[in-house]
Homo-oligomer: A and B are copies of this chain.
Amino acid sequence: MARPPVSVSPRTPLVEVAQKMLEHRIGSVLVVDREDRLVGIITQGDFCRHPGRMVPFSLFESANVLSNWLYPDQVERVYQAARNLRAQDIMQAPVVTVSPEASLGRVLALILKHDINRIPVVRRGKVVGIISRYDLLRVMQQEHAS
């Protein structure tokens, strides 16, 4: 379980969400309210999953690559759209979570059933950690090394 997970507020503009994900090199961010309660999660795929609210994450990720293909006015249009849209417009909610007391079997079942890469660990609505597939494979490695 890694902590603290990176989070944004529901009102954070998409362009800042994307910058945060790139800065921390992460595939998802948590969305928390003012009382620090988990209200949503955003993955890279969510950036282009919503009709009418589509700002492909790759346009931020590969800005230097895409400059081969995009004209400058288009890049500016993308950033403008991403300043107008906010985390709450594209986040997934409710979020699949586990309690700190959950068994490893329960964590695995949820990750496989929902085909997700990470699952937040929540106590009384607040995030206390996050478990990734990588973390689980590390545990498995320890089990198989001993």
Residues of A within 8 A of B (CB): 48, 54, 56-59, 62, 65-66, 68-71, 74, 77-78, 103-105, 108-109, 111-112, 115, 133-134, 136-141, 143-145
Contacts and interface: CB of A to CB of B under 8 A. Distances in A.
Residue of A69, A136, A138, A139 with most chain B CB atoms under a 10 A cut-off: A69
Given A54-B68, A112-B137, A144 B74 contact: no
A103 B137 contact: no
Contacts of A74: 69-71
11 contacts: A56-B62, A56-B65, A58-B62, A59-B69, A69-B77, A104-B140, A105-B141, A112-B134, A133-B133, A139-B140, A143-B143
A18 to B, nearest CB: 13
Copies in the complex: 2
Contact of A144 (B71, B104, B111): B104
Nearest to A144: B105
